[in-house]
Amino acid sequence: MEFRDLKKQYSVLKNEIDMKIAEVCTSAHFISGAQVSELERQLAEYVGVKHCISCANGTDAITLALKAWGIGRGDAVFVPDFTFFSSGECPAAEGAVPVFVDVDENSFNIDVKKLEEAVIRVLGEGEYAPKAVIAVDLFGQPADYAEIKEICRKYGLLLLEDGAQGFGGSIDGKKACGFGDISTTSFFPSKPLGCYGDGGAVFTNNDEWAAIIRSLAVHGKNSENKYDNIRLGMNSRLDTLQAAVLQVKLKAFKDHELQDINTAALMYNEALADTGLILPHIKNGYISSWAQYTVQLQRGIDRNVLKKYLQDRSIPTMIYYMKPMHSQQAFSGTHSAEADCPVTRKLCETVLSLPIHPYLSREDIYTIRNALTEAMNESRMIR
Ligand SMILES: *Cc1c(COP(=O)(O)O)cnc(C)c1O
C-alpha cells in the first residue's frame, strides 16, 4: 500500500500527462513557456483571486511574500507551533523573529485566543514589532480566518496564509489560498495539488505586491526588461514541464480528485468510529483538501510499536509532526524557543497520519482499520 499513491494517479492520467510533457520538450520552451502563464490564470480563477505568481517551491513562495512586505530585523511574525518547518524558517531567514503560538487540538490550526495573547505579550515586551501572522491550513483544513482577520485588523498585522497543504479547501464556499493579504501554496508531489518535482505559487489581490513578487522571483527584474535589475531578488520560477503536468492535474483535481479524497476521508470516519482513536475534526462550513488524515492515539498506546505493527503489514504511516517548532534545534537559544505550547507538545506525542489520496479504496480502508484494531488489542501496544 502507498501512503499517497502517485503511481496510481499517474496510471490514470498517463496519456494526458505524457502528451503535455512531449509538447514542452518539442517546443523546448523549458522556462517561462506559455503553459506557465496559462496555469497561473487557471489557478487564480480557481482560487478566486486577481493574481497568481508561480515560483520554485512553497518555501520560496512564503519568502517572496515576506520580502514584498519588507519584513526583517526587529519584526515579530506569529506562526503556529505545530507545522512544517518552512512556516517558521522563512521569517527567521529574513531576520524576523517567529513567535510560536499553540494550536487548537481539534483543528490542529493556530489557536486564535492564544494568538491574541501572544501579540499582546510581544507588544508589552517592546523588543520586537508585531508585523504579520502566518496562518497555516494544516493537513488541508483552512485556519479560522474570520477570527484571525479580526485580530490582524485590531493590531494592524498583515496576514499570510501558508496554504501549502490547503489548496482546494474552503470555508462557506470561499476557497483556500484566497484568505491571506498574500497566500501561498506548494506543489511538492505529495501535496493536495502536486507536480513532478518542486513548485509553488503566491496569490494576492494586491496589484503592487503582485508586481514586486514577480520582480523578486526573477532577480529583481523590472517589468519590461529581465536584464534591468531594480532590486535584489531570487531565482524562483516554476518551470514549464511542471506547469504542463499541473494543468492536467488541476483538471483532475477539479473534476474528481478533491471529491474522491473527501469520500475516502468519510469512509475512514465511519470505519474508525468505534476504534477509540481520536479522528480529525472538520469545522462546520469548512471543507478540507486532506493533505493528511491524522488521528490522535489515546494516551498509553505505544506509537512506535503500533507504527511498526502496521509497517510489517505493508501499511505505511507518518508522524506529522514529531517536534514542536519552538523545540527545533535551529531556534535554540533564540526568542523563538521560549514558547509555551502544551497542546502542540501533546500532539507531537500522539498523532499518526494514515494513508490518504483520491485513489484509496474501501478495501484499503478496511485493511487499515482491521490492522489498527488488532494492533490496539495487543497488550504490547500499551506502554
Ligand atoms: C510543504 C510545506 C511548505 C513548503 O513547501 P515546499 O514546496 O516543500 O517548499 C510550507 N509550509 C507547509 C505548511 C508545508 O506543508
Please, which pLDDT band fits residue 198 given cuts at 50, 70 and 90? very high
Average pLDDT of the residues in 63-89? 98
83 lines ligand 1 (CB under 6 A): yes
Ligand 1 neighbourhood includes 200 CB (under 6 angstroms)? yes
Distance CA 254, CA 90 (A): 30
- With beta carbons less than 8 A apart as the criterion, state whether 92 and 98 touch: yes
Q: What is the C-alpha separation between 110 and 102, in angstroms, rounded?
A: 6
For the segment 206-223, the average pLDDT, to the nearest whole number, is 96
| CB 166 less than 6 A from any atom of ligand 1 | no
- The rounded Å distance from CA 265 to ligand 1 centre is 22
pLDDT by residue (tens digit) across 93-110? 999 999 999 999 999 999
Cα-to-centroid distance, 81 and ligand 1 (Å)? 15
Residue 321, ligand 1, Cβ within 6 A: no
Q: Which CATH number is 255-382 given?
A: 3.90.1150.10
pLDDT at position 259: 98
Residue 327 CA to ligand 1 center (angstroms) comes to 19
**Residue 143 pLDDT greater than 80, yes or no:** yes
Q: Of all atoms in ligand 1, which is nearest to the CA of residue 198?
A: 7
Q: Check if the beta carbon of residue 194 is closer than 8 Å to that of residue 6.
A: yes
Write down the pLDDT at residue 210.
98
State how far the Cα of 94 lies from the Cα of 288, in Å rounded to an integer. 31
pLDDT digit string, tens, across residues 226-273: 899 999 999 999 999 999 999 999 999 999 999 999 999 999 999 999
What is the second-level CATH architecture of the domain 6-101+108-249?
3-Layer(aba) Sandwich (3.40)
CA dihedral 135→44→226→161, nearest 10 degrees, is 0
Q: Is the pLDDT of residue 379 over 80?
A: no
Cell of 366: 478496511
What H or E segment, with its residue span, contains residue 89? helix 86-93
Q: CATH 3.90.1150.10: which residues of the chain?
A: 255-382
383 Cα to the center of ligand 1, angstroms:
33
How far is it, in rounded angstroms, from Cα 314 to Cα 371? 10
pLDDT at 224: 87
Domain(s) labelled CATH 3.40.640.10 in the chain stretch across 6-101+108-249
Residue 346 confidence (pLDDT): 97
Using one digit for the tens of pLDDT, what is the confidence trace for 317-373?
A: 999 999 999 999 999 999 999 999 999 999 999 999 999 999 999 999 999 999 999
Q: Contact, 165 vs 135, CB < 8 A?
A: no
**Mean pLDDT (whole number) for 59-88:** 98
What are the respective helix, strand and coil percentages of the chain, to the nearest 5?
Answer: 45, 15, 40
* pLDDT above 80: residue 173: yes
The pLDDT assigned to 140 comes to 98
Q: Does the C-beta of 164 come closer than 6 Å to ligand 1?
A: yes
